Amino acid sequence: MATPPKLEVRYYPYSTLTHTIRLRRNVIKVRINQLFMKAPPSVLEAVAQILFSRLYQHKTPREALHRYHTFVERNQPRFRVLLRSRAGMAPRLHHAKGSHHHLELIFDQINRRYFHSKLPLPILSWSRRAGHTKLGEFHSLQHAIVINRRLDSDRTPAVVLEYLMFHEMLHMKHGAEIRNGRRVVHTKPFREDEKRFEGYHAAKDWIRRMTQLPEWRHQNRNF
């Protein structure tokens, strides 16, 4: 009869909103972000359900996902400050000026044109690595927009970078919805708002053509 694995649970000071679970040498090691040290028992139970579902490749209960995402959304302002302080996020990420394009200039231009300059300036940065899976991303907890460094090129049309910045700024504007226990960011209002961008079709066409090129798709999967 197989010996049941031992369970080792610790809180860990991750610099992002991360929790991990690993099975090594018959020991299940669980690391829960220290931000959750004072979380209600029901939320910690949800974290456990999510992690063990991941470990054993089971479907995560929707109710657990709903409890978890609701807790995170309610605590976003506090988590954002703590994570930024813990990771030194602002000085490490803040590389808005690239070799060919300056993200702050693009942000200011889009903010004036589409948002009446009402969106607060987030941390803006080119990604550390030139990945090929994501072109841009808005990190709500760090309040940061990161654009793929591979696009910092004189071959990248301005309309493409403006569109990507506009897309991520819409995430700032619309936030997320909890739907059937899952966090949804590309909602119907988001998609409708996105089409206001003047170069929407031109930018999407360029991205589609570029990401299908072998030299783009066959790069190492770094992000």
| Residue 149 near residue 128, CB atoms below 8 Å | yes
Burial annotation 166-190 (CB, 10 A radius, 16+ → b, else e): bbbbbbeebebebeebebeeeeeeb
Between 3 and 40, the more confident residue is 40
Instruction: Return the pLDDT at 222.
Output: 29
Instruction: Return the pLDDT at 82.
Output: 78
What domains are there in the chain, each with its CATH number?
Answer: 6-86 (no CATH), 89-217 (3.30.2010.10)
pLDDT in tens, 110-169: 999 999 998 888 889 998 877 767 899 998 777 789 999 999 999 999 999 999 999 999
In the structure, what pLDDT confidence band is assigned to residue 220 with cuts at 50, 70 and 90? Answer: very low
In the structure, what pLDDT confidence band is assigned to residue 221 with cuts at 50, 70 and 90? Answer: very low
Distance CA 18, CA 188 (A): 28
In the structure, what pLDDT confidence band is assigned to residue 2 with cuts at 50, 70 and 90? Answer: confident
Instruction: Return the pLDDT at 1.
Output: 62
In the structure, what pLDDT confidence band is assigned to residue 86 with cuts at 50, 70 and 90? Answer: low
For the chain, give the percent of residues with pLDDT over 90.
51
Between 53 and 219, the more confident residue is 53
Distance CA 30, CA 47 (A): 10
| Residue 132 near residue 211, CB atoms below 8 Å | yes
For residue 200, CA distances in Å to 110, 138, 197, 204, 206 come to: 13, 19, 5, 6, 10
* Average pLDDT value over all residues in the chain: 85
**Average pLDDT rounded to a whole number, residues 77-82:** 80
